[in-house]
Amino acid sequence: MTDRSRSPYRSPRRGQRRPAATPPAPKDPARRVAYDVLRAVETRDAYANLLLPAQLRERGVTGRDAALATELTYGTLRRQGTYDAILDACVDRSLRSVDAEVLPVLRLGAHQLLSTKIPPHAAVSATVDLARRVVGQHRARFANAVLRRVSARDMEEWLAIVAPAAESDRIGHLAVVHSHPRWMVEALAAALGERPGSELADTERLLAAHNDRPRVTLVAKPGRAAVADLVSEGAVEARYSPYAAYLPEGDPAALRPVRQGRAAVQDEASQLVALALTRVPVEGADATWLDMCAGPGGKAGLLAGLAGGREAHLLAAEVQPSRAGLVAGAVRRSVRDAARVVVADSTRPAWREAAFDRVLVDAPCTGLGALRRRPESRWRRTPETAEGLAPLQRALLDRALDSTRPGGVVAYVTCSPHLPETRGIVDAVRAQRPDVAVIRAADHLPEVADVAVDDGDYVQFWPHRHGTDAMFLALLRRL
């Protein structure tokens, strides 16, 4: 429940003329970088995971300042839904009317006040100083007033005021408390098999996990590096994937095997779904593998190494030339040069039908499985995003099956647990094709507990259960 009538603060309206911002001062580089990234995310749809490292590098921000900038940027974006509900109660009118340059200042301040150990007076004064530099004196005064109001309560007190009551609106409650759009809470609950009217305990654990910083996982590319090489550089052996190691701290790019292209950053579930494809027995030839959606090359890098060790060849196809370039980098110097990269639209294959023994279709998707690492994506996706992708996902899976020889195997993968793009797509394609049989995917990942869905027919990883992205896997045999 919000009570805006009590608010004494008036927000500057969007479009209102303001004095020009003064140029950036070198002071407080962490907050300045965080603000610039948040503003770029808000105003020009920038991606924080790409822009932040670039900005830190460009401005020479390192060490503790870089760590603070990262925490402030990612923390603010992850909890944006919660902060907006609180800020909405602290301005005199809808938060929507606050202009897009001021909004990131308010969110950044709310994050420091409600979710960090920064003392409140320091959080307010540093944020208002920043506001003075980036949006001018007038709007800094407004920010000061709003943040002082935010600082009057802690997070728990605010949530008791602004979140819908759990008893009457569990979904709405979870959406505000754990900072997700409402439709996404519903979609994730459905994917977990929980009914909207129920306790939603598993859904709540998932939503909470989305707000945690994900650990950094590395892959040692088969034939080029071993997990031991990563362990000797400070990583620790991973729980499930034989090629993975977790990096507890430090910059992965600074590790020698990573610099040399023999290892890379890759989520453990991404490794395991690619590995599962290579584990399914096939009768007869097993020499031609295809990755139909290869960019930027994470799975292709692993598959190229595995193909190299098994006298097989991988064709990695990617429709975007710049992403195909990244794939080329990822498979470079694989054992026996086992991979070739082509720029191609895989819905209109340039290769022969039934030419491949194993095919991976890692379909473009909403990415709801990687919300920990792409913090702004939860605010960008809509239910329509998934609807819009469905025809492409269906076409890619259909062409993947056409591209597989009888007896060969297809892995359909999404970095999303959202049912319309996981089981929805597989079921729709299966219904049209009598030449397809499901291979029980869970049988091919016996080392991972609690991943089986639909009696083991499909596999679904979860951040709160496995510490991985929420990857989905279906394995299909072409008859």
Ligand X SMILES: C[S@@+](CC[C@H](N)C(=O)[O-])C[C@H]1O[C@@H](n2cnc3c(N)ncnc32)[C@H](O)[C@@H]1O
Question: Shortest approach of ligand X to residue 458 CB, angstroms?
Answer: 17
What binding mask, one character per residue, do residues 267-286 give for ligand X by CB under 6 A, x or -? ---x----------------
Give the integer Cα–Cα distance in Å for 296 and 326.
5
Contact 350, 342 (CB under 8 A): yes
Cβ atoms < 10 Å from Cβ of 172: 15
Give the integer Cα–Cα distance in Å for 300 and 84.
40
Half-sphere exposure of 1 (CA within 13 A, CB side): 5
For residues 206-235, which are near ligand X according to CB under 6 A? Answer: none
Q: Should residue 16 be labelled a site residue for ligand X when binding is judged by CB under 6 A?
A: no
User: Of the listed pieces 78-86, 149-157, 192-200, 316-324, which binds ligand X according to CB under 6 A?
Assistant: 316-324
Query: CB within 8 A of 253, min separation 6: which ones?
Result: 259
Q: Should residue 323 be labelled a site residue for ligand X when binding is judged by CB under 6 A?
A: yes
Distance in angstroms between the alpha carbons of the first and the last residue of the chain: 58
Q: Which is nearer to ligand X, 176 or 275 (CB)?
A: 275
Q: Should residue 369 be labelled a site residue for ligand X when binding is judged by CB under 6 A?
A: no
Give the integer Cα–Cα distance in Å for 328 and 326.
5
Residue 294 annotated as lining a ligand binding site = yes
Question: Shortest approach of ligand X to residue 397 CB, angstroms?
Answer: 12
Alpha-carbon separation of residue 381 from 138, 159, 187, 229, 473 (angstroms): 34, 24, 12, 39, 22
Question: Shortest approach of ligand X to residue 266 CB, angstroms?
Answer: 8
Q: Should residue 298 be labelled a site residue for ligand X when binding is judged by CB under 6 A?
A: yes
What binding mask, one character per residue, do residues 119-158 give for ligand X by CB under 6 A, x or -? ----------------------------------------
Q: Which of 443, 441, 353, 340 is nearest to 398 (CA)?
A: 353
Among 299, 372, 381, 444, binds ligand X (CB under 6 A): 299
User: Of the listed pieces 146-154, 176-184, 199-207, 290-298, which binds ligand X according to CB under 6 A?
Assistant: 290-298
Give the integer Cα–Cα distance in Å for 459 and 452.
5
Q: Should residue 385 be labelled a site residue for ligand X when binding is judged by CB under 6 A?
A: no
10 Å CB burial of residue 264 (0-12, 13-18, 19+) is buried
Q: Should residue 318 be labelled a site residue for ligand X when binding is judged by CB under 6 A?
A: yes
Residue at token pair 């030449």: 435
Active site residue 90: no
Contact 366, 389 (CB under 8 A): yes
What binding mask, one character per residue, do residues 329-358 give for ligand X by CB under 6 A, x or -? ----------------xxx-----------
Q: Should residue 32 be labelled a site residue for ligand X when binding is judged by CB under 6 A?
A: no
Q: Should residue 29 be labelled a site residue for ligand X when binding is judged by CB under 6 A?
A: no
Give the integer Cα–Cα distance in Å for 107 and 72.
10
Question: Shortest approach of ligand X to residue 447 CB, angstroms?
Answer: 20
Candidate list 206, 307, 415, 459, residue with the active-site label: 415
Contact 288, 356 (CB under 8 A): yes
Among 147, 176, 187, 293, binds ligand X (CB under 6 A): 293
Q: Should residue 294 be labelled a site residue for ligand X when binding is judged by CB under 6 A?
A: yes
Give the integer Cα–Cα distance in Å for 74 and 104.
12
Which residues make up the interface to ligand X (CB under 6 A)?
270, 292-299, 317-320, 323, 345-347, 362, 364, 415
- Residues designated catalytic: 415
Summarize the annotated binding site for S-adenosyl-L-methionine as residue ranges.
293-299, 318, 345, 362
